[in-house]
Amino acid sequence: MSDKYMDSKGLSMVQLQSNETLQSGKYRILRVLGQGGFGITYLAEHTMLDKLVAIKEFFPKEYCDRNESNRNLTIGTKNSVEIVDMLKAKFIKEAKNISKLNHRNIITIYDIFQENDTAYYVMEYVEGSSLSQLVKESGALSEAQAIGYIRKVGDAVGYMHSLSMNHLDLKPANIMVRQKDDEPILIDFGLSKQYDASGGQTSTTPIGISHGFAPIEQYRPGGVSTFTPQTDIYALGATLYNLLSGQVPPHYSEILEDGLPELPVSVSQQSVDAITHAMEIKKNRRPVSVAEFIDELGRGANSSVGPESPAEAPTAAGVSAHMSAKENVPPVSAASTLESTMMIGNMPIQPNRATIDNSEIINGVEFVDLGLSVKWANSNIGAGQPTDVGQFFSRKDSNSLVDLYQWNMHGAIVPSISHFEELIKLCKWYWGEVNGTLAYTVVGPNGNSICLPVTGDGVTYPGRSLVTFGLLWTNEALLNQWRSHSNLLYFNSSQCCVVTYYTDKIDKNCPIRLVCG
Tens digit of pLDDT for each residue in 281-300?
999 999 999 999 999 997 54
pLDDT band of residue 34 (cuts 50, 70, 90) is confident
Residue 398 binned pLDDT confidence (cut-offs 50, 70, 90):
low
**Percentage, residues of the chain above pLDDT 90:** 35
Residue range 312-331: mean pLDDT, rounded: 30
Helix (H, G, I), strand (E, B) or coil at 107: coil
C-alpha to C-alpha distance for 336 and 500, rounded to whole angstroms: 8
Average pLDDT, the chain: 77
| Type of residue numbered 217 | E
pLDDT at 111 over 80: yes
pLDDT, position 396 = 63
Provide the pLDDT for residue 505.
Answer: 43
Query: Which position has the higher pLDDT, 30 or 392?
Result: 30
* Residue-wise pLDDT tens digits, 229-278: 999 999 999 999 999 999 999 998 889 888 999 999 999 999 999 999 99
Of residues 365 and 180, more confidently modeled: 180
pLDDT-above-70 percentage for the chain: 74
Residue pair 352/178 in contact (Cβ under 8 Å)? The answer is no
pLDDT at 365: 82
Strands of 365-368's sheet in order across? 360-362, 365-368, 375-377, 515-516, 412-413
- Please give the pLDDT value at position 189: 82
Which comes out higher in pLDDT, residue 318 or 251? 251
Average pLDDT, integer, range 438-467: 69
CB 290 within 8 A of CB 236: yes
Measured between alpha carbons, how far is 273 from 14 in angstroms, rounded to an integer? Answer: 47
- pLDDT at 405 (0 to 100): 65
pLDDT for 467: 46
Neighbours of 145 (CB within 10 A): 19
**Position 433 pLDDT exceeds 70:** yes
What is the mean predicted confidence (pLDDT) over 386-396?
Answer: 79
**Inter-CA distances, 68 with 85, 171, 377, Å:** 21, 35, 69
Which domains, from first to last, does the chain contain? 3-124 (3.30.200.20), 130-297 (1.10.510.10), 332-516 (no CATH)
pLDDT of 68 over the 70 cut:
yes
Spell out the residues 6+ positions from residue 501 whose beta carbon is closer than 8 angstroms to its own: 330, 332, 471, 477, 485, 486, 487, 488, 490, 508
Per the document, the length of the chain is 517
